[in-house]
Amino acid sequence: MTTFDDRQRSYEAKFVHDADLRFKAEARRNRLLGEWAAGLLGKTGEDARQYAMTVVTSDFEAPGEDDVARKVVADLKGRADEATIRAKMDELRQIAREQIAGES
């Protein structure tokens, strides 16, 4: 085993770890966004939790976060505009990253 092989494995492990953290942070952000949107929709308890999960799963429709934004914009029509929702997504992304980093 050479130093180069060790370094390569280290970089690969870091890449996998970073990708895992990004995935967890995005899923957490989507859940938090879903909880926020559920509150605007007047949902509480189990209904709010189930709605938040639909926001999380909407992220699997297409790469990127546009699918999540589209869903929430459509659901909150008349309650929040797209700019407000995207600003909330940015705010919650940072909160989610901090929460995930605190768990590691």
Domain annotation for the chain: domains and CATH numbers: 3-103 (1.10.790.20)
Give the confidence band of 98 by pLDDT, cuts at 50, 70, 90: very high
Q: Would you say 85 and 72 are in contact if contact means Cβ atoms under 8 Å apart?
A: yes
Q: Would you say 33 and 89 are in contact if contact means Cβ atoms under 8 Å apart?
A: yes
pLDDT at 84 over 70: yes
pLDDT at 6 over 80: no
Q: Which amino acid does the sequence have at 4?
A: F
| Average pLDDT score, the chain | 92
The pLDDT value given to residue 76:
97
pLDDT at 1 over 70: no
The DSSP output letter for 61 is: S
User: Residue 27 and residue 97: Cα distance in Å, rounded?
Assistant: 10
Average pLDDT, integer, range 78-82: 95
User: Residue 87 and residue 2: Cα distance in Å, rounded?
Assistant: 48
